[in-house]
Amino acid sequence: MGVGRYAESLGTLEADQARQLLKALADPVRLQVVQALASGERCVCDLTGDLDLAQSKLSFHLKVMREAGLIEARVEGRWIYYRLRRDALDGLQGWLGELAAGCSEPAAPCG
């Protein structure tokens, strides 16, 4: 089995899903958002102030994170509240765990 096929079969996440989540986590601003949401749901107005970001910049990053499946939003009145998706984090953790479990396997003999 090639490396690509092995990676695609790991965990309940497909390789494309893992790639999207990792991409969403790779940006420093989005990582700050994840850290801000680690303690629970937050209003977008609080995130804008706490992260010292312009509304348009934050909105762009939140959109990328939503499209990756990393966060979800709910509307209450005129406010939007965001929270991390536990299932996405659990899926990524499982996918990475399977990668880690296989990394100490010795190579098959050549030839």
Output the domain CATH number for residue 57: 1.10.10.10
Residue 5 lies in a domain: no
Q: What number of residues does the chain have?
A: 111
Residue 106 lies in a domain: no
Residue 84 lies in a domain: yes
Residue 22 lies in a domain: yes
Burial class of residue 80 (count of CB atoms within 10 Å of its CB; 0-12, 13-18, 19+): middle
Residue 4 has pLDDT above 70, yes or no: no
Residue 81 lies in a domain: yes
Per-residue pLDDT reduced to its tens digit, 27-85: 999 999 999 999 999 999 999 999 999 999 999 999 999 999 999 999 999 999 999 99
**Residue range of the domain that includes 75:** 12-91
Residue 75 lies in a domain: yes
Ramachandran area for residue 18 (φ above 0: left; ψ -120 to 50: alpha; else beta): alpha
Residue 110 lies in a domain: no
Our count of domains for the chain comes to 1
Report pLDDT for 13. Answer: 78
Residue 3 lies in a domain: no
Among 70, 5, 11, which residue's Cα sits nearest to residue 37? 70
Per-residue pLDDT reduced to its tens digit, 22-38: 999 999 999 999 999 99
